[in-house]
Structure 1
């Protein structure tokens, strides 16, 4: 449960996630649990055009790590009761009583807020709410970890087992080594030899892991058909990022300066 500032002062609100949990905690044994996605679909039907005024987002774990935003609603007392009433009058009364009790404890003044937070019953309720959310989040993370593990296993089985497989990307904001060579006034083979000397690429022209992690190089993946086996294979082409291009320009200019000094 949250307190936000409205024109009329501090007001207790309930998010759609909290309302769904509240409704599910009061369902009869055997009744199916209310899904948050189904609840979201019902909001515009109940609140009409004003539903958008209460829309917001919350953070959920992303499929590739980190977090992404997901839609939800945050309702004042009136709209919370209207949504609860759309399921039953008993739920409407329960939500009304629950939010009224919190208003009495939390909405009068900062002093009252601190006093309410000193109430063991309030603290226990907040603690239990946070524990439940933490457990739900950990369950979601375990699910996502299992899905990611299966995905990683499939990628490892399908892709060539090269040293930098986890750094392979396809980007439209990078340059081929040939283009870099033309830009700095040399040839592709000469530039590749230079990059080998500087330990940017190996003898096959593939970027070293350290240069990939530094953001200088990427390995662009492309698929081709093996003429001998008719199997689809993956080919990796070294390409240079904007950051890498600036670094190569500086290294090449330094090389030219050294050569000029030796000739004098």
Structure 2
């Protein structure tokens, strides 16, 4: 089974159970009991997936769940009481409001960077919420799952796609990566350690960069590793604000000023 994927236009049976305050097993049973009638009318089954549930003794177990769109969800809700139906209706209203607010068109390069950074924070918050939900489920089953922080941290890094290279950011300013790195050094953002550019300690806690380590083979046949560091969207916005203090702005904003 595939890992659980939550889309804004869908709601999982796990989320339904959380919203209406029922056991997930009972919600799954209600959905299964209503599926036959739904298939006869709509000629399609409910989408079945799974999520990974942390176990008291470590590791994870695949647990089945349904993923329903709004119509399917409200159809299933007819089996619930008035209060549960009201909670689901309000939940859908909240989801649709957030989705509408998400599609705002940035009017400047700065707004685009701020929007990207905000979206990354939302992704990280969703990841933290999923981890919290997983722990809560284990507790309700009578045990506390001991999650290893290192594993969670590595998983979060590997899952993140919102990163850009120094070369890409440098191009926004019409510079080479070499020139840009020297510029950041001069402004007290980073310094070189063992041939690798690293942030000063005061910037490290804020998630501005992410690093991946890859194995290599040296010319003499020995094994080694090399680290590639990329900037997150929060880091990209940080650089924009820092450079702007020194009257250094991206090409797109330079062109806009010339047109004005």
- TM above 0.5: no
> Could you tell me the TM-score, scaled by structure 1's length?
0.37
The higher radius of gyration belongs to: 1
